[in-house]
Structure 1
Amino acid sequence: MEGERVTRLLLLAGKQSMKKADFLAGRLETDWRIEACDPAADRAAFERLAPEAEAIVGGYIARPWPATPRLKLYQIPFTGHDFLEPEVLPAGCRVCNTYEHETSIAEYILLAMLEWEIGLSKTAARFRERSWDGKGPAEGPVHGEVRGKTVGIVGYGHIGREVAIRARAFGMNVIGIGRREQPTPDLLDWYGTTMEIDRLMAEADYVVVACPLNEATRGLLDADRLGAMKPTGVVINVGRGAIIDEDAIYDALKNGRIGGAVIDVWWRYPGRDEPNPRPSRHPLHELDNVIMTPHNSGWTQEQIDRRWVFVASNLDRIARGEPPENVVMTI
């Protein structure tokens, strides 16, 4: 209320969260005192601010943590939360993640399939270099099409649904598997649990990996499962690198046992000790049947804005005493 001292402290923890202080200040409808720090660079600031915070927005923060008795909300401004260490948070704290990446990633996946079939970038580069190359309009390179192809979604959820909507519009067949038993969604030709993954691997022209990483999915696509794919089949991984066995996929790609892969999520990432590692211990970058991107399949400005609008709305819910959305864990 006007004239009343604001006691709720919002801590933006980490380099990415710190950048959004002004954005949140302009979006929040409730009163918060916004502080920001990077725990990796200024541990003293984190240890001073965290005990007073009612909400923290951030990702992974290394131990040790100070006691945070007032903390009601740990808001992750992205989707993954496999890094979370619940024991550092106080009882009653709710952990929420943020989606809003589904449409961006679905567009990336459709682009990947279209590029694989049509080869637009390679054709354009060749035409620039060679012009007509002695061939007329109906004699140029023949390319494929996605119409009639089958896309199999491993982990049919938020992303999978958006992929299915777009794939259907292109005349594709869509199949999917997930953890829960449920009737086949209208967008799918068939749906099964993970018990039917081998069937999906065998039927799909494109296998889209969109499930979360956990103990059940780590190494889910191993040598046997990759071996069940069509020899022309393509894996598209937008989930997590470790869902696919690193040795097995390199072997399958190098020896032509599958058609190719489009990989956006990896086994190795930059760190303090190695700021620019290769994303795999194998030389995938030397293979011509791999499209590689730096974990940016969903990274559009529109998606970033949608996520932080959601973060602001969840902070408002907490301030008003309402339950937050996207709760992944209550401590």
Structure 2
Amino acid sequence: MASRFGTLSKYLNTSWQLISSDKASAADITAATAFVEAPLDMLGAATAGSLYQYTFTGFDESDLPQIPPHFTVANCHQSSVPIAEFVLGSMLEWTIGLQQLDTALRRCSWRSQPPGNNCSKVHTGHGQISNLTLGILGYGHIGEAIATRAAAFGTRIIATTLNPPVTPPTPLTWIGDDTSNPRLFRESDFL
């Protein structure tokens, strides 16, 4: 870890000291203003601390009550692309059933003469997400990434967020605040 900080320090234009939590002295902890993924039990002694940075999206794995109240807690939004791709993949799988089609086609026989050619009995028809409605509850970085990708499939996209803009951003049909959630739920094929 310390070698990573040494390399990183070369590229930063700052007077900050980057110290790995396992190498930090008691004085380092007391004087530090920012912590990145440091052990939470260390923060009680961080009287000058003001920022605790998680290196992941969301707060699912965080223990917020253990972080002293004088800290601002921040997370990252670098996961919007993989999450958006997962969401679109899930929508496509739900609508098309590609895994089921694959299994059925692998079980059939492509012999050219009966008996044995049973592939024509495999149902290959499927739905499509074009013209369906995707509702995004909480339109932020991840929601924007999902909307961009869903628009490429011709999906209608609607969203809610705490502080919506007056005009819906492209590619949204409409955006509202939390009072619009019942409408979002009613209109959405996917949420």
Same fold flag (TM > 0.5): yes
Q: Structure 1: which 5+ residue stretches go unaligned?
A: 1-19, 38-44, 208-331
Secondary structure of 2:46's counterpart equals coil
TM norm structure 2: 0.76
Query: What's the CA shift for 1:167?
Result: 0.7
Aligned to 1:263: none
Aligned to 1:56: 35
Secondary structure of 2:136's counterpart equals strand
- Residue-by-residue CA offset, 1:178-228 (whole Å, 9 max, x unaligned): 111422222111111111111111111101xxxxxxxxxxxxxxxxxxxxx
Query: What's the CA shift for 1:56?
Result: 1.6
| Higher radius of gyration, 1 or 2 | 2
Computed over aligned residues only, the root mean square deviation of the Cα atoms, in angstroms, reads 3.0
> Greater relative contact order (Cα 8 A, min sep 6): structure 1 or 2?
1
Secondary structure of 1:162's counterpart equals helix
Mapped contact 1:73–1:94 kept (Cα < 8 A): yes
Give the AA of the match of 1:134: N
Please identify which structure carries the higher helix content.
2
Change (3 A) 1:99 1:204: same
Query: What's the CA shift for 1:89?
Result: 5.4
Distance 2:171 2:94 in 1: 23
How many pairs does the alignment contain?
177
Aligned to 2:114: none
- Residue-by-residue CA offset, 1:244-299 (whole Å, 9 max, x unaligned): xxxxxxxxxxxxxxxxxxxxxxxxxxxxxxxxxxxxxxxxxxxxxxxxxxxxxxxx
Of 90, 96, 99, the match for 1:112: 90
The correspondence of residues 63-212 of structure 1 with structure 2, limited to 5 A, is 65-81=43-59, 83-85=63-65, 88=68, 90=70, 93-132=71-110, 134-136=118-120, 140-183=123-166, 184-207=168-191
Q: Structure 2: which 5+ residue stretches go unaligned?
A: 111-116
Query: What's the CA shift for 1:106?
Result: 0.7
Query: What's the CA shift for 1:46?
Result: 7.9
Mapped contact 2:138–2:161 kept (Cα < 8 A): yes
Identity within the alignment, %: 31
Query: What's the CA shift for 1:75?
Result: 1.7
Change (3 A) 1:75 1:178: same
Change (3 A) 1:193 1:33: closer
Mapped contact 1:155–1:179 kept (Cα < 8 A): yes
Give the AA of the match of 1:57: V
- Residue-by-residue CA offset, 1:96-123 (whole Å, 9 max, x unaligned): 3221111111111111111111111222
Change (3 A) 1:73 1:195: closer
Query: What's the CA shift for 1:66?
Result: 3.5
Please identify which structure carries the higher strand content.
1
TM norm structure 1: 0.47
- Residue-by-residue CA offset, 1:292-319 (whole Å, 9 max, x unaligned): xxxxxxxxxxxxxxxxxxxxxxxxxxxx
